Amino acid sequence: MATQTEKIRFSTHPDQYRHIRLSVEGPIARIGINVSEDEGLRTGYKLKLNSYDLSVDIELDDAVNRLRFEHPEVSVVCIESLQDTVFCAGANIFMLGQSDHSHKVNFCKFTNETRINIEEATAKSGQHYVAAVNGIAAGGGYELAIACAEIHLVDDRKSAVSLPEVPYLGVLPGTGGLTRVVDKRKVRRDLADIFCTTAEGIKGKRAVEWNLVDYVHPSSVFKEKVTERLQSLAGQGHDAEGVSLETIEAEVEGNTYNYRYVTLEIDDKARSAKITIQGPSESDSRIGDDARELGSEWYPLRMWRELRDAILQLRFNHNTVGVISIVTEGDPQHVIALDQALRNCRDHWFVREILLQQSRVLRMLDVTARTFFALVLPGACFAGSLLEIALACDRTYMLDDDDGANRISVGAVNGGEFLMYHGLSRLQNRFYGAQDCLDQVMAKEGQMLDAGEAYELGLVTQIPDDIDWEDEVRVALEERASLSPDALTGLEANLRFVGPETMESRIFARLSAWQNWIFTRPNAIGDKGALTSYGKPTNPEFDWSRV
Domain co-membership, 256 together with 217: no
The last residue of one of the domains, among 178, 207, 234, is: 234
Domain co-membership, 33 together with 124: yes
Asked whether residue 8 is domain-assigned, the answer is no
If we measure between CA atoms, which residue out of 126, 103, 25, 114 comes closest to residue 62? Answer: 114
The per-residue pLDDT for range 44-99, each reduced to its tens digit, is 999 999 999 999 999 999 999 999 999 999 999 999 999 999 999 999 999 988 99
The last residue of one of the domains, among 234, 261, 286, is: 234
Helices (H) and strands (E) in the chain, counts: 22, 19
Cβ atoms 391, 411 nearer than 8 A: no
If we measure between CA atoms, which residue out of 304, 314, 330 comes closest to residue 274? Answer: 314
Burial of 11 (0-12, 13-18, 19+ CB in 10 A): middle
Q: Which residues contact 37 (CB under 8 A, 6 or more apart)?
A: 46, 47, 48
Domain co-membership, 228 together with 109: yes
Q: pLDDT tens digits, the chain, 547 residues: what are they?
A: 555 567 999 999 999 999 999 999 999 999 999 999 999 999 999 999 999 999 999 999 999 999 999 999 999 999 999 999 999 999 999 998 899 999 999 999 999 999 999 999 999 999 999 999 999 999 999 999 999 999 999 999 999 999 999 999 998 888 789 999 999 999 999 999 999 999 999 999 999 999 999 999 999 999 999 999 999 999 999 999 999 999 999 999 999 999 999 999 999 999 999 999 999 999 999 998 899 999 999 999 999 999 999 999 999 999 999 999 999 999 999 999 999 999 999 999 999 999 999 999 999 999 999 999 999 999 999 999 999 999 999 999 999 998 888 999 999 999 999 999 999 999 999 999 999 999 999 999 999 999 999 999 999 999 999 999 999 999 999 999 999 999 999 999 999 999 999 999 999 998 878 888 888 899 999 999 999 999 889 899 999 988 8
DSSP-derived pairing of the beta strands 76-81 and 128-133: parallel
Strand partners, 421: none
Calculated CA dihedral for residues 10, 71, 79, 141, nearest 10 degrees: 30
Range of the domain at 223: 14-234
Domain co-membership, 330 together with 396: yes
Asked whether residue 163 is domain-assigned, the answer is yes
If we measure between CA atoms, which residue out of 157, 158, 143 comes closest to residue 212? Answer: 143
Q: Could you tell me the pTM of the whole model?
A: 0.96
Domain co-membership, 330 together with 398: yes
Cβ atoms 411, 387 nearer than 8 A: yes
The last residue of one of the domains, among 234, 262, 283, is: 234
Give dist(CA 417, CA 412) in Å, integer. 8
Q: Structurally, how many domains does the chain consist of? A: 3
Domain co-membership, 82 together with 194: yes
Asked whether residue 545 is domain-assigned, the answer is no
Q: Find the CATH number of the domain harbouring 379.
A: 3.90.226.10
DSSP secondary structure letter of residue 16: G
Domain co-membership, 450 together with 520: no
Cβ atoms 26, 237 nearer than 8 A: yes
